[in-house]
Chains A and B, each alone.
Chain A
Amino acid sequence: EVQLLESGGGLVQPGGSLRLSCAASGFTFSTYAMSWVRQAPGKGLEWVSSISGSGGTTYYADSVKGRFTISRDNSKNTLYLQMNSLRAEDTAVYYCAKGQTGSGWLVKWFDPWGQGTLVTVSS
């Protein structure tokens, strides 16, 4: 069974940093693209970032470009999201989601999703 378990969320002050982790199991992690998607309280889903299976290709939403960095350690089956210069509008539940393999992976679906970790940016 595929499992994704996020951790690292919490309360951080504006301008601060936080690193999220997503521990994966139940599939060949290095083969699949992975993504982060967030959901602000009471709002819809917003794609944040995606990374290829090898880690060599990354994509970011304009809202986080230059502040967030996605990475992965395939030896540890773990996905990361380093978040710097955090703003109040970054407050959200952050989900990691398993993508697909092969070419054109960015246009494909997310399945499954982790349970999410809450990040609150406030003074």
Chain B
Amino acid sequence: QSVLTQPPSVSGAPGQRVTISCTGSSSNIGAGYDVHWHQQLPGTAPKLLIYGNSNRPSGVPDRFSGSKSGTSASLAITGLQAEDEADYYCQSYDSGLSGVVFGGGTKLTVL
């Protein structure tokens, strides 16, 4: 069981908007620690997608956006494209564990 909870899968048609939730607790997201998102395309290493809750690294399309509220965070992807099909992971810090925590990952399927 991951400390951060994500839905195992989400799906959407090309051009649609999907959101992926990441739910934590008072010792991680709710304590004010930032949430970061990573994208893992099939057979490749993870890649940073969003950092500091809502910031995009250079080169990441503005179709990807992040937000955080209370004990949860969300990743939104608009204008879905076939190449967005991947696993998405949220990352934060947990003060109770004194370490980095990841969500269990969400598999995005583009229909």
Contact = CB atoms under 8 A, between A and B. Distances in A.
B33 A107 contact: yes
B45 A95 contact: yes
A61 interface: yes
A95 B102 CA distance: 14
Interface in A62-121: 62, 95, 106-116
* Residue among A35, A44, A108 with most chain B CB within 10 A: A44
A27 interface: no
Interface string B49-63: 001100001000000
A61 B89 CA distance: 18
Interface size classification for chain B: 20 to 34
A44 B99 contact: no
Interface in A43-69: 44-47, 50, 59-62
B99 A108 contact: no
Contacts of B105: 44-45
9 contacts: A45-B89, A46-B102, A47-B101, A108-B51, A109-B51, A109-B52, A110-B48, A111-B57, A113-B38
Given A60-B99, A109-B51, 15 more contacts: A44-B2, A44-B103, A45-B38, A45-B46, A45-B105, A47-B99, A50-B99, A59-B99, A61-B97, A61-B99, A108-B34, A110-B48, A111-B57, A113-B38, A113-B47
The 3 residue pairs across chains A and B that have the minimum distance between CB atoms: A111-B48, A47-B100, A109-B36
